[in-house]
A and B are shown apart, each in its own frame.
Chain A
Amino acid sequence: MTNWLSTWPSRHRLSIMFWAINALIVLALLIFALR
């Protein structure tokens, strides 16, 4: 994981983190709504 991330510039790593957090938020929201 660390090696793979090391091949990305910092601005892309921020984007990856942002979209990963968004994906988790949407997943949590769906789990909440579908219970």
Chain B
Amino acid sequence: MQTPIAMNPRFLIVIYLCVVLLPLGLSYFSGRPSRSFWDELASGAGLLAFAILLLEFLLSGRFQTVSARVGMDVTMRFHQLVARTALVLALLHPFLYRSPFNPPYPWDVTRQLTLAYDISGLLTGILAWVLLATLVALGIGRSQLVYRYETWRLMHGVGALLVAGLVLQHALDTGRYSQDPALAYLWIGLFLMAVFSLAYVYVIKPIWQTQRPWTVRSVRSLGLRTWELTLEPDGHQGLAYDAGQFIWLNVGNSPFSLFENPFSISTAPASGPHLQFVIKELGDFTRTVGQITPGTRAYVDGPHGNLVVSDHAEPGIALIAGGVGIAPLMGILRQLRHEKDERPTMLIYGNRVQEQIAYREELTAIAEDQRIEVVHVLSEPPEGWTGRNGLVDADLIRAIFDSTPMKQWLFVLCGPAAMMEVVEDALIDIGVPSHQIESERFQYD
């Protein structure tokens, strides 16, 4: 179920740019006399960095309006990339000024020739400067850190809000252009929006989740270090979602805790209100999945994600999965079968060994349907293996899809990043337009 308020990506980019550039525009037309090139460059860099920083909260707030069409993975990657832009602008900001070398002139009321040396304003700026650099550095190097993901996330959220508060004080206290009421109110408005974004994720959504709890119905082994977790709604109708979407799952903890992980839903909406997930033992939480007992309370934040086929009309559908990436594609396949979709469908499912194949019996049954073909690919096949050998790579893609009719199909990819890059490049190489390729990455940090 695509959210009706999801915004067009191009429209979002235009809005994003307008908001980022608005403080600069207000300053441009403030009527204040301009100073030297370097002073104006310094102020402009500071204004831009603060605007980007405040919008970072919105980008990471899991708002459907922002990420439903663009994709949560793309939104988060963009959040990470523009943080670097904000950091560069913020780092340059204090060093570009030339006015500090001028003596303070009491008659210079527009601060045209000198800067304010008010210690409280400068101190907050310096603190924010150091803290922002630390935050971005910790974010970029997070995989090298010893902290748990949840600890890092808390530090990142609280740290970012602290930086935003410090910069707000710095701008309102010492900023030349931020003295104007229009810009001052814009900063306060954007800051309140940032506070709301954090409150939405950490307070409002958890409160809503307490009204819609779920219960673990079963946990069963699907294969080598891979589990299937089944949830059922506890006293409510369940979740309105589209096949292929994902949720943030919190099992056995308070909804206010930060212990949640993204998992794709492997069931189809048509199969009922229960939700299933394919979980591979990889990280802190996933290693303990086999120990979860039926009856455990769980909370769900979602649905999220744009890995959906319901709004596509291509003449055929190719689902290409690697390992645990089968989960959302299984949901799509089940939904297509339930809807008796007439289009030819092919599932290419790559694994290392036969024991890793999830839902093998169900896939065999599905393959008896004339419209659906299931191709298993193993990189370490056992003796007597009748499926394909090797990796889901460019050669395989070319061998199967390099025909004119199949190039018109919709291609849905989910799996390890390396596999998805190879497959997407190969599909584009044989002439499939990128708008016919849907993909979503596992990591949403």
Q: Is B28 an interface residue when CB atoms closer than 8 A count as contact? A: yes
Q: Between A and B, how many residue pairs show CB distances below 8 Å?
A: 73
Q: Complex formed: what's the CA distance from A17 to B77 in Å?
A: 12
Shortest beta-carbon distance from A8 to chain B in Å = 6
Q: Complex formed: what's the CA distance from A13 to B20 in Å?
A: 21
Complex contact A7–B434 (CB within 8 A): yes
Binary contact readout B15-45 vs A (1 if CB under 8 angstroms, 0 otherwise): 0110011001001100000100110110011
Complex contact B21–A25 (CB within 8 A): yes
**Size band of the interface chain B makes with A:** 20 to 34
Complex contact A6–B434 (CB within 8 A): yes
* Count of chain A residues with a beta carbon within 8 Å of a chain B beta carbon: 25
Q: Complex formed: what's the CA distance from A21 to B24 in Å?
A: 15
Complex contact B48–A29 (CB within 8 A): yes
Q: Complex formed: what's the CA distance from A30 to B81 in Å?
A: 21
Complex contact B13–A35 (CB within 8 A): no
When distances are taken between beta carbons in the complex, the residues of chain A under 8 Å from B45 are 29
When distances are taken between beta carbons in the complex, the residues of chain B under 8 Å from A22 are 85
Complex contact A14–B74 (CB within 8 A): yes
When distances are taken between beta carbons in the complex, the residues of chain B under 8 Å from A33 are 37-38, 40-41, 44
Complex contact B433–A6 (CB within 8 A): yes
Binary contact readout B409-441 vs A (1 if CB under 8 angstroms, 0 otherwise): 000000000000100110010000111010100
5 A–B contacts, CB within 8 A, in A order: A10-B437, A11-B424, A17-B78, A18-B81, A29-B44
Q: Complex formed: what's the CA distance from A25 to B44 in Å?
A: 10
Q: Is B82 an interface residue when CB atoms closer than 8 A count as contact? A: yes
Q: A10-B74, A11-B421, A21-B13 are in contact. Are A32 and B428 (CB under 8 A)?
A: no
Complex contact B424–A9 (CB within 8 A): yes
Which residue from B20, B81, B439 sits with its C-beta under 8 Å from A10? B439
Shortest beta-carbon distance from B233 to chain A in Å = 34
Q: Complex formed: what's the CA distance from A34 to B421 in Å?
A: 42
Shortest beta-carbon distance from B20 to chain A in Å = 7
Shortest beta-carbon distance from B244 to chain A in Å = 16
Q: Complex formed: what's the CA distance from A25 to B85 in Å?
A: 10
When distances are taken between beta carbons in the complex, the residues of chain A under 8 Å from B37 are 33-34
